[in-house]
Structure 1
Amino acid sequence: MSINTYFLRHLDKKKGSNSEETTPQDSASEDGALAPAQREMISEITANIFKIIDDKLSPLSHLLQAHREELDSHGERITEVEGRVSVLEDIVNPVEDTVKVMEQQVMDLRERIDDLENRGRRKNICIVGLPEGAEGDNPLRFFESWLPKALNIETKAGRFKLERAHRALVNEMSATPSNKPRSVVVRFHNYQDKQRVMNASWNMGMKKEALKYDGATVMIFQDLSAAVLRKHKTFDGVKKRLKAIGATYNQVYPALLKVTYRGSNLQRPSHCGEIHRLHRPTQR
């Protein structure tokens, strides 16, 4: 229904309600005189209403049109992006598999490099706790004679044949410098001589005897790479508990802890429960 029709019907109803007050002759004269004027007024009102509506809705129409164009543009871009993503996924999926293979290869190579580094250190020992300056100006000569004497090892001419001996470097970047003496790295000419020193040091430890130098306790360890030492560091808490219950242990290369407790050799993680079982009676 148009606005013109609505107003005309409304006026017709209004005329009907007032028909009792006017005579048929008056109604006929009024219809003939006022109908054109009323129709013109209704048309003018209708035009004004349409103009107002158009003025109000025109900005909204332009805004909706702009949004529609923008949405259409976004739709085209999203379709393009989806296509590119699909292409990238086709490229990336094989690359991910390649990366996993390469990561495994890198891990294997790192382990092999670390193993080679430790093989190069097989003839080295690390001496900890020796006071600074004890080796004098010639560390090589000092350790050639001091090691067999301190560990009661018989050698030809009373000395070992060494290739080099030196203190560890000082970390100048350390914020809290330590007063502890630096460790000493000694490299033997013969692997057998190095092993004799390690065995002698181990036997002293088993006998609860300490290697001393001017009252300072000196300890001898196998020289190992930083990666293996980090693995050994993870056993520190376990070692303290083993000492507390009187168990003996030996660190086996590269990172295996061999434990002896009450005549039982425990080397696997599953044996931890047996340590607790064996130790339980002594706690009561």
Structure 2
Amino acid sequence: MILVKDELKRSIERIQNKLDAHGVVLSELERGATDHSTRITELEANVGSLTTRVTYLDNRCEDLEGRMRRNNIRLLGIPEGVEGPRPTESVAGLLQELLGLDEKPLLDRAHRTLRSRPREGEPPRPFVIRVHFFHVRNDMLKRSGDASPLLYKGRRVSIFPDYTTAVAKKRASLEM
């Protein structure tokens, strides 16, 4: 009888020790879960504020890029190589001829878009032109719309405002 009692006592002690060890592990897990929950809450707050900040900065960048391009126009359809070594001057003369302007417009810059030179049979790269005066740019766009279609050496030429991709998409969605 004493033997069975001692055996039961040892068994109960082993079970009690295991329960105590499990209790320690569970309390450590609870503490870890609480710490993780606190950290996740803090991170979610940080992500929310950073998302707001990124949205604000994206809008600002879009606005700044749009303002930077305000005086720009795009000229499409002019064959490659026509611009020669001084593209700004040759494009000013070309615009004067195409639009019937009294004098050459004052251009700050004129260059082809930054993609590789097209192969034979592909359309030429557009020109991006920075017009010095905004009212001259608007006059040129108005004249190009009035004189449509514009032709240069028998080829159709188009003049458009130089909008950012986002603005162009927004304008296209409004026109439909």
TM-score range, shorter chain: 0.7 to 0.9
Which structure has the higher relative contact order (CA within 8 Å, separation 6+)? 2
Aligned residues: 162
Which of residues 155, 166, 177 in structure 1 aligns to 2:111? 166
Deviation track 1:28-69 (CA, whole Å, cap 9, x = no partner) reads xxxxxxxxxxxxxxxxxxxxxxxxxxxxxxxxxxxxx89x95
Superposition pairs of residues 124-273 of structure 1, within 5 angstroms: 124-153=72-101, 155=102, 158-171=103-116, 179-204=122-147, 209-229=148-168, 231-232=169-170, 251=171, 257-258=174-175
Q: CA deviation at 1:100?
A: 1.1
Deviation track 1:205-229 (CA, whole Å, cap 9, x = no partner) reads xxxx311112222111111234434
Q: CA deviation at 1:185?
A: 0.7
Q: CA deviation at 1:87?
A: 2.1
Deviation track 1:132-184 (CA, whole Å, cap 9, x = no partner) reads 1122222111121221321223x3xx210111111112249xxx998221111
Structure 1 unaligned residues grouped into runs of 5+: 1-64, 233-250, 260-284
Which residue identity lines up with residue 95 of structure 1 in the other structure? L
CA distance in 1, matches of 2:163, 2:84: 25
Which of residues 58, 67, 71 in structure 2 aligns to 1:123? 71
Alignment-derived partner of residue 5 in structure 2: none
Identity %: 32
Which residue identity lines up with residue 153 of structure 2 in the other structure? D
The TM-score with structure 1 as length reference comes to 0.50
Alignment-derived partner of residue 6 in structure 2: none
CA distance in 2, matches of 1:74, 1:216: 85
CA separation of 1:162 and 1:75: change in aligned 2, threshold 3 A: same
SS in 2 for 1:109: helix
CA distance in 1, matches of 2:52, 2:100: 48
CA distance in 2, matches of 1:136, 1:163: 17
CA separation of 1:74 and 1:186: change in aligned 2, threshold 3 A: farther
Q: CA deviation at 1:85?
A: 1.5
SS in 1 for 2:48: helix
SS in 2 for 1:257: helix
CA distance in 2, matches of 1:131, 1:111: 36
Which residue identity lines up with residue 123 of structure 1 in the other structure? N
1:88 and 2:36 matched: yes
Alignment-derived partner of residue 53 in structure 2: 105
SS in 1 for 2:82: coil
Structure 2 unaligned residues grouped into runs of 5+: 1-13
CA distance in 2, matches of 1:80, 1:169: 60
CA separation of 1:94 and 1:141: change in aligned 2, threshold 3 A: same
Deviation track 1:71-111 (CA, whole Å, cap 9, x = no partner) reads 87566434312211112212332431232122012111111
Alignment-derived partner of residue 10 in structure 2: none
Q: What is the root-mean-square deviation of aligned Cα atoms in Å?
A: 3.0
SS in 2 for 1:95: helix
The TM-score with structure 2 as length reference comes to 0.76
